Structure 1
Amino acid sequence: MPYKIHIAPVFWMPAERAAAWHAVVAASIGHDLPGEPPPTPKQVHARLTTAGPDGRRLFWLATEDDGAVVGVAGLRLLTEPGRDHLAELELHVHPARRRRGVGGHLLATAVFAAQVERRRGLLTSAVADGPGAAFCGARGFRRRLTLHHLLLDVARADGSAADAGRPGYELTAWTGAVPDHLAEALAAARNAVRDGPPGEADDERRTWDADRVRTMAKALADGGDTLLTVAALAKERPIANGLAGYTELVIRAGETRRALQYDTAVVPAHRGRGLGSWLKAAMVRRLRAEHPGVTEIESVNAENNARMLAVNRRLGFRPCHRTHEYRLDVTP
């Protein structure tokens, strides 16, 4: 008998649907990345119910005749200027129900929705050499770049770079939204770093201003996440153009063990002075002091970003796994 599934849009996300979504995601990640902690139910619920910045979200469930959820898909329709022709795809199928057409039906549904919304490209990611990578390769996705996922044991990290200052620079730090007097400087620093990650297309990059920086921090806070930032200021320049670099960590809602490395960047005019290592070592010191229960940091670096990979190796990061990022061109 042919395997029957039903694809249905989700217009609201009560607790039981969020729990079913989490069960599929946890099973999928547990199968494809054994030993890696899946997102907690609280993290999944926050992602499904919290409106993020610069995007609208669409959701679908794949169910069997008895209502059992066997696959999920989400589409984030980007709305920020310069990226409003793109959508980000998340798709998971329960390992026990793979190779039965569930993923293909969910993808076709998401592609149709993207076309209706006049999107020209779908972005997604998959574990390198895993089932998701094979799925993308068989369906016309183009691989854009390879990302290395690295783990740092906070207790064993080499934080010695934090001991020595950097002549002409000073450190500052904050939690959550950037202080108002630094908002424009942080946006300018983000925009100045236009050379990464290598492989990213120009039409997929963000343009930052002070409002967008604040909106990103608010979205994290609304989802229950904690954002930590350490920044380097150039003493001889006014604040408006003197933020030389920064590093960010996020502790997700309900997380008890792992922090996620978000951006680490040094403005090109300030490179070659060891600021990247200084910033990251200072962040490790801060994490130990303020969040002693967090014992590891996960960082994701583009394969050909040799500069940041070297910084992370010196700090003590070790390889964990790799993922590929893909783009599927679609015709509106």
Structure 2
Amino acid sequence: MSPSAHVTPLQRVSDTEAAAWHQVVAASTAHDLPGVPAPSPGQIHAQLTQPALGSRRLTWLATAADGAPVGVAGLRLFTSPGQQHLAELELHVDPAHRRLRTGSLLLSAVLAACRAERRRSLVATAAAGSPGEAFSERHGFRRALTLDHLMLRLDELDVTELLRIADAEHPGYRLTSWTGTVPDGLADAFAAAKNAMNDMPVGDLDYGSVAWDADRVRAMAKVVADRGDTLLTTAAVHDDGTMGGYTEIVLPGSSGPRAQQYDTAVVPAHRGHGLGLWVKAAMTRRLRAEHPGVVEIETDNADDNVHMLAVNHRLGFRSYRRTHEYQLDVPAA
């Protein structure tokens, strides 16, 4: 057995350290998630160097005796009221260097930081059936939520059905769309609608809740733009000026063919009118018209989010993999 890796906390992440991080993540993803594209070097660099919304990040790099990168860990410390008990873990070990205690050493550093930062809950994601799943369970994490990942291939759409849904009348509502930051006249209504995400099904996950206001939605759009991605939003606005529902798509800065679904939510007072299906169909039509280079959209839903799963299947999304969200009650020192 080779000697244990050396774990180093990173302060201000350099270009060289970001490249090393990408090397490990790319190797880990290719092994554990064949067919799932790894983040690009630019995306990794932005993740490690750009501020996140409502959180700050701690990072560690594990190296072998010859200095080669063999593992990485990132800890997102949530700072917003309602989530200050929480931290989120990302951990990767190069497959060629597994079972040498690298992952355990990284996790030990992470747990020490959680205790120092007074975090009682640590959440992590692992693909179903992956080595990460076994690692999480071996270290005392409990499974709290299962996510279905779905894909919509835009070249396989039933376009006639899509247009029928997108063009359907919803008396009392109108569609509006924007790119990047929400227009000032809609900022307060959009922030109010964002709070509808707080009743999203999360299984047994202790994820807390976040209060959205106009400043926070503007800050979220800035975070996306600063890392080089494009945020698209389509919303249903009621005649009284309130926002009934919305959906968000992010296009990666690398101009890849896969768009990522962000939030889709319908405000409780506006449910029962088909707004979720409507805004998602309108967004899909918008993508086809404005971004022809996008060929697929990836989303995920909690497996008990029956309503949103039905909406996505109606649009043509198909399940292609599953992940589990794990949670650890951080033990005292």
Alignment of 1:306 with 2:306, yes or no, is yes
Q: Which residue of 2 aligns with 1:274?
A: 274
C-alpha displacement of 1:4: 2.4
2:83, 2:257 → 1: CA distance?
34
User: How many corresponding residue pairs?
Assistant: 328
> Of 181, 186, 203, which aligns to 1:182?
186
Q: Which residue of 2 aligns with 1:255?
A: 255
Cα 1:203–1:70 change in 2 (3 A) is: closer
Q: Which runs of 5+ in 2 are unaligned?
A: none
Q: Which residue of 2 aligns with 1:224?
A: 228
- The CA deviation string for residues 213-251 of structure 1, in whole angstroms up to 9 with x for no partner, is 11111111110010000000111x1x2xx1000000001
Q: Which residue of 1 aligns with 2:26?
A: 26
My pick for the range that moved more, 266-275 or 128-137, is: 266-275
Q: Could you say what secondary structure the match of 1:280 adopts?
A: helix
1:308, 1:218 → 2: CA distance?
27
Q: Which residue of 1 aligns with 2:49?
A: 49
Q: Which residue of 1 aligns with 2:326?
A: 326
Aligned-pair Cα RMSD in Å? 1.4
C-alpha displacement of 1:202: 6.1
C-alpha displacement of 1:192: 3.4
- The CA deviation string for residues 51-87 of structure 1, in whole angstroms up to 9 with x for no partner, is 1111111110110111000000011111111111111
1:263, 1:200 → 2: CA distance?
20
2:204, 2:84 → 1: CA distance?
16
Please list every run of at least 4 consecutive aligned residues from structure 1 whose deviation after the TM superposition is greater than 4 angstroms.
200-203
Q: Where do 1:47-196 residues align within 5 Å?
A: 47-158=47-158, 159-160=162-163, 161-196=165-200
C-alpha displacement of 1:197: 2.5
- The CA deviation string for residues 125-181 of structure 1, in whole angstroms up to 9 with x for no partner, is 010111101111111112110001100011222413112221111000000111111
Q: Could you say what secondary structure the match of 1:27 adopts?
A: helix
Alignment of 1:315 with 2:319, yes or no, is no
1:203, 1:123 → 2: CA distance?
8
Task: Tell me, yes or no, if the aligned pair for 1:63 and 1:69 is still in contact at 8 Å.
Answer: yes
AA in 1 matched with 2:171: P
My pick for the range that moved more, 107-116 or 148-157, is: 148-157
Q: Could you say what secondary structure the match of 1:205 adopts?
A: coil
AA in 2 matched with 1:233: V
Cα 1:156–1:72 change in 2 (3 A) is: same
1:225, 1:75 → 2: CA distance?
22
1:285, 1:320 → 2: CA distance?
23
1:203, 1:143 → 2: CA distance?
13
> Of 210, 217, 220, which aligns to 2:214?
210
AA in 1 matched with 2:72: V
Q: Could you say what secondary structure the match of 2:244 adopts?
A: strand
Cα 1:202–1:14 change in 2 (3 A) is: closer
Task: Tell me, yes or no, if the aligned pair for 1:244 and 1:270 is still in contact at 8 Å.
Answer: yes
Task: Tell me, yes or no, if the aligned pair for 1:193 and 1:268 is still in contact at 8 Å.
Answer: no
Q: Could you say what secondary structure the match of 1:172 adopts?
A: strand
Q: Could you say what secondary structure the match of 2:198 adopts?
A: coil
1:206, 1:103 → 2: CA distance?
31
1:199, 1:59 → 2: CA distance?
28
Task: Tell me, yes or no, if the aligned pair for 2:121 and 2:206 is still in contact at 8 Å.
Answer: no
Give me the TM-score of the superposition, normalised by structure 2.
Answer: 0.95
My pick for the range that moved more, 193-202 or 127-136, is: 193-202
Q: Which runs of 5+ in 1 are unaligned?
A: none
2:157, 2:252 → 1: CA distance?
21
My pick for the range that moved more, 318-327 or 189-198, is: 189-198
C-alpha displacement of 1:203: 5.4
AA in 2 matched with 1:283: M
1:81, 1:200 → 2: CA distance?
20
My pick for the range that moved more, 266-275 or 37-46, is: 266-275
Give me the TM-score of the superposition, normalised by structure 1.
Answer: 0.96
AA in 2 matched with 1:250: V
AA in 1 matched with 2:172: G
1:147, 1:279 → 2: CA distance?
22
Q: Which residue of 2 aligns with 1:197?
A: 201
Cα 1:200–1:187 change in 2 (3 A) is: farther
Q: Could you say what secondary structure the match of 2:199 adopts?
A: coil
